[in-house]
Amino acid sequence: MRFTKPAGWVAAAGLGAAAAMHVVWVRSPWPFRDRAEFTSAVAGVSEAEGPSAAATATVAAALGSAAYLVAAQAGVAPRPLPARLVRLGTATVAGVLLLRGGGGLVHSGLAAEPTTFTRLNLALYSPLCLTLGALAAYVAKNEEAP
């Protein structure tokens, strides 16, 4: 029994939620108190070095596109693009998420001094990327029949 549709739903929902969070972060540091706390916890940098609103919006758009590709490959969203393009896009989403997750674990695990960012990266960000990447890889490999 294939679990392509459930895996696609979960991955697309996770990517969509991450996209929504980035949309919020374009204008607000929620759930953090202020921009300084936000950039320290989410990006691991000072407020001055933090991502611009345009960069954050670009990430939101990329995550939203990734959610759509995974959902389309799983057969839970319309697929107006050619099947090969959707499969390649979904495989690319999986690869990027797996690299981000694995790289984040290594980078934060080797950090000389733990910070809020490295702790969150080890406990939340990297495992989430690995989970969503594994689900996207499964969906890319196991296309649901239209």
> Helices marked H in 46-141 — which ranges?
53-74, 83-109, 116-120, 126-141
Q: Kindly give, in sequence order, each residue whose CB lies less than 8 Å from that of residue 78, ignoring residues fewer than 6 positions away.
A: 72
Q: How far apart are CA 8 and CA 144, in angstroms?
A: 10
Question: 110-126: per-residue pLDDT in tens?
Answer: 888 899 999 999 999 99
The pLDDT mean for the chain works out to 93
Question: 63-107: per-residue pLDDT in tens?
Answer: 999 999 999 999 999 988 899 999 999 999 999 999 999 999 999
13-22, 35-44, 62-71, 99-108: lowest mean pLDDT where?
A: 35-44
Predicted pLDDT at 80: 86
**pLDDT band, residue 132 (cuts 50/70/90):** very high
Q: How far apart are CA 13 and CA 99, in angstroms?
A: 20
**What one-letter code names the amino acid at 10?**
V
Q: Angle at the Cα of 137 (from 145 to 98), degrees rounded to 5?
A: 165
Q: Would you call 100 helix, strand, or coil by DSSP?
A: helix
Predicted pLDDT at 10: 97
Predicted pLDDT at 2: 81
Q: Which residue has the tokens 């921009």?
A: 35
Is the predicted pLDDT of residue 146 greater than 80, yes or no? no
Is the predicted pLDDT of residue 43 greater than 80, yes or no? yes
